[in-house]
Amino acid sequence: MSTPSLAANPPAGRLRIAPAAVSLPAEGISDRDHRRIRSAFGPHLVDTYGCNESLALAYGCPSGWLHVHGDWLILEPVGPDLRPTPPGQESFTVLLTSLCRWAQPILRYDLGDSVLLRPDACPCGNPLPAIRVRGRAADLLSFPHRDGGTVHIVPMAIETLLENIPGIDLFQIVQTAPTRIRVRILSAAEVDRERQWTAVRKEMVALLTAHGAGQVSVERAHEPPEQSAGGKYRVVIPWS
């Protein structure tokens, strides 16, 4: 992924804290960054995996795997056609079914995360299904890099930029071609939309240029952000 890593941005060393535990609650991180976090905060590092729809999906073990809360939910690694992905292979996405929500049932909800299900028993002895999470691969934006190859940008990199621009109630980035994106914005009523768009375009161009994709054109969409078939607003919709 192309978000700045800990290796590229070492800590300044000004923070003086002694946390009892440090939790990594979302998408997977590299082994290198995992070691750097542990070296900074000590051995009290807890790996967990969650999402807005189910805050506790899995928790880490000493062998470096995440064990799914199988008594509370079902996670199904699947391919683009939603057929099961064999254990030992990275999935295209994963479907979540919650077994503990009475007021709002969740049945085979497409999370968009790529996971790998361990094909054999985990050495730690925990009998629950063991997975590793690659992250939100289904929502990666991919562009040709100026020096060749491909650059990937995760939704969080865009969210961090645009959420700091005043007056944006909702936004959505749609990749309409390998080197073209459209930006859908739902603005607050009192906002100067022209000034807002100037700020949005400036931030998006700067982000793309920093990742080696300055040739990508940024277009202003006149339609508002659109919901997916499942009713969710996706931050980015990649080219397919």
Both tokens of 9, joined, read 């941005």
- Can you name the residues that pair with 96 across neighbouring β-strands? 75, 109
DSSP 17-70: ---S-EEE-SS---HHHHHHHHHHH-S-EEEEEEETTEEEEEEE-TTS-EEE-T
- What secondary structure letter does DSSP report for 84? B
Reference 65, options 149, 156, 127; nearest CA is 127
Amino acid occupying residue 154: V
Element (H, E) at 236: strand 236-237
User: What are the structural domains of the chain?
Assistant: 22-135 (no CATH), 140-237 (3.30.300.30)
Q: What type of residue is 78?
A: V
Q: What is the pLDDT along the chain (240 residues), one digit of tens a residue?
A: 334 444 445 556 677 777 777 877 655 566 677 778 778 777 677 888 888 788 889 988 888 899 999 989 999 999 888 899 999 998 988 999 988 888 888 899 888 788 999 999 999 999 999 999 876 655 678 899 998 899 988 787 888 888 889 999 999 999 999 999 999 999 998 899 999 999 999 999 999 999 999 999 999 999 999 987 656 778 888 887
- The answer to pTM > 0.75 is no
Tell me the residue type at 10: P
